[in-house]
Structure 1
Amino acid sequence: MKIDASEFRVKEGEKAELTARPTAVKPVCKSKKHYKKLLKEHVESLSALQRLHYASGRYAMLLIFQGMDSAGKDGAIRHVMSGINPQGCEVFSFKQPSTEELKHDFLWRTTCRLPERGRIGIFNRSYYEEVLVVRVHPEILRAQGLPDAVLDEKDIWQQRYRSISELEEHVHVQEMIELPTGH
């Protein structure tokens, strides 16, 4: 049984009407026993795929777990990634930005932790916090030490959305470039 992710996607340019979106999905498993069997099969498959991914060294993979506190991000990472070789994987949790991180662009702290080719990077939260939490709590934005001109701009959120989209497009394109053999 598969979850239809299209139910949860908002297309570019479309307004997100949250009341029209489902808040729950049909159970994927019939029982806990079925869940454990399915999880074991998927973990074994993921482990085999990760060995190939690591050995090829051609692409990087980034998994972003975004959600509120107690949403199950840690548990999902622990269960789903249990078959992954830790040597080919790194997990980063993004909490409140440090003093050093606040001295950089909002994308800096995550960008410098993107995985190298052949590895899997896992972000427990990400740069999306900067357009979610920070937007809801403007005092966080004011505490980031940004110039007044930036803080006063009415389109700061559109600029951040655009920056995120452009970063993701850039990273995707970079990963799709095939390097000649021998490099």
Structure 2
Amino acid sequence: MKDFSIDDFRYDGSKPLKVKKAPNKVDDLYEDDAHYEAMLRQQAIEMDIWQEQMFSHNRFGLVAVFQALDAAGKDGTIKAVFTGTNPTGVKVSSFKRPTEKELEHDFLWRSWLELPERGTIAVFNRSYYEEVLVTKVHPDILTTSQRLPEKATDDLDKLFKHRYEAIRDMEKYLNRNGFPTIKFFLHVSKKEQADRLIARIKDADKNWKFEEGDVAEREFWDDYQDAYEEAINETATDNSPWYVIPADDKKNMRLIVSRIIIAELKKLPTAAQKPDEERFKKLQKLISVIEGQ
């Protein structure tokens, strides 16, 4: 068992990411299942405290983006990490294939609709990053279903360059307005993904998680690795960092993600908030009024 620094997984643009060199697994952070559960519960309590602090301050929000290949563990991680946080302070949005209505708008439109209110955390299960990942691997999507102006797809390198720029601008804008964005890439190995997909097929109760298209997408494994590497390197900034999380061990992954979110919440000015002493004194006078009612 070992401890870790969140900086081990942080990419803020100061160093390039090499996906093939990024680990899929690290040494266990827990001694056994009971120890893992205890650590996760303790971190959940801490996260709830800091989210409540942010809520009472009512000046900041947080956007937490989760990206990964199929079967990396996005759903389970989100459920495990945020269980225990006041549900009024967390909003989870899942971004699947764009609907007809969403395709009538620009690629960032649907994400704007799901941004958090001040004091809350918006959790994106997939996000606008799909538009520089899936479309990078399958560029025909841009020409067949996204209804872009013809000239926009004449030069795909330029199109993606502009999309990276738009994403950086969006995240910079959000940060300036009190909504920093942190992004997680749950980095699973090809072998571990295969084992999890097979497990979903063998277990009838998990068949609902399996999509036949996931098998076809494995043929593009290297292309997706390249797409993630480029997207992360193009959009990692100090104010909107990426965290590349080893995902072959789900328990480690959840503990690391939870610790990072707590650390990011503690960075906010809300962490230094002090009680209003004047208001505290005034409220004390109401105790006798309540007792006399």
**Cα deviation code 1:10-40 (max 9, x no counterpart):** 726x654322322322222122111111011
Q: Does the residue aligned with 1:66 lie in a helix, a strand or coil?
A: strand
CA distance in 2, matches of 1:40, 1:16: 32
Q: Does the residue aligned with 1:47 lie in a helix, a strand or coil?
A: helix
Match of residue 148 from structure 1: 150
Match of residue 51 from structure 1: 52
Q: Which amino acid aligns with 1:2?
A: F
Match of residue 99 from structure 2: 98
Gaps of 5+ in 2: 180-268, 270-293
Post-superposition shift, 1:131?
0.5
Post-superposition shift, 1:124?
0.3
Post-superposition shift, 1:5?
3.9
CA distance in 2, matches of 1:59, 1:159: 28
Match of residue 174 from structure 1: 177
CA distance in 2, matches of 1:113, 1:66: 16
Post-superposition shift, 1:148?
0.8
Q: Does the residue aligned with 1:71 lie in a helix, a strand or coil?
A: coil
1:1-183 matched pairs, under 5 angstroms: 1-7=3-9, 9=11, 11=13, 16-142=17-143, 143-153=145-155, 154-175=157-178
Q: TM-score scaled by structure 1?
A: 0.88
Computing the radius of gyration from Cα coordinates, the structure with the larger value is 2
Post-superposition shift, 1:46?
1.0
Q: Which amino acid aligns with 1:24?
A: K
Post-superposition shift, 1:49?
1.5
CA distance in 1, matches of 2:8, 2:36: 23
CA distance in 2, matches of 1:83, 1:31: 21
Post-superposition shift, 1:145?
0.5
Q: Does the residue aligned with 2:43 lie in a helix, a strand or coil?
A: helix
Q: Does the residue aligned with 1:155 lie in a helix, a strand or coil?
A: helix
Between the two structures, name the one with larger relative contact order (CA 8 Å, sep ≥ 6): 2
CA distance in 1, matches of 2:53, 2:6: 27
Q: Does the residue aligned with 1:123 lie in a helix, a strand or coil?
A: strand
Match of residue 181 from structure 1: none
RMSD over equivalenced CA pairs, Å:
1.9
Match of residue 278 from structure 2: none
Q: Which amino acid aligns with 1:151?
A: T
Q: TM-score scaled by structure 2?
A: 0.56
Name segments (4+ residues, structure 1) moved above 6 Å. Answer: none
Distance 1:4 1:117, change over 3 A: closer
Post-superposition shift, 1:122?
0.6
Native 8 Å contact 1:58 1:118 kept in 2: yes
Q: Which amino acid aligns with 1:19?
A: K
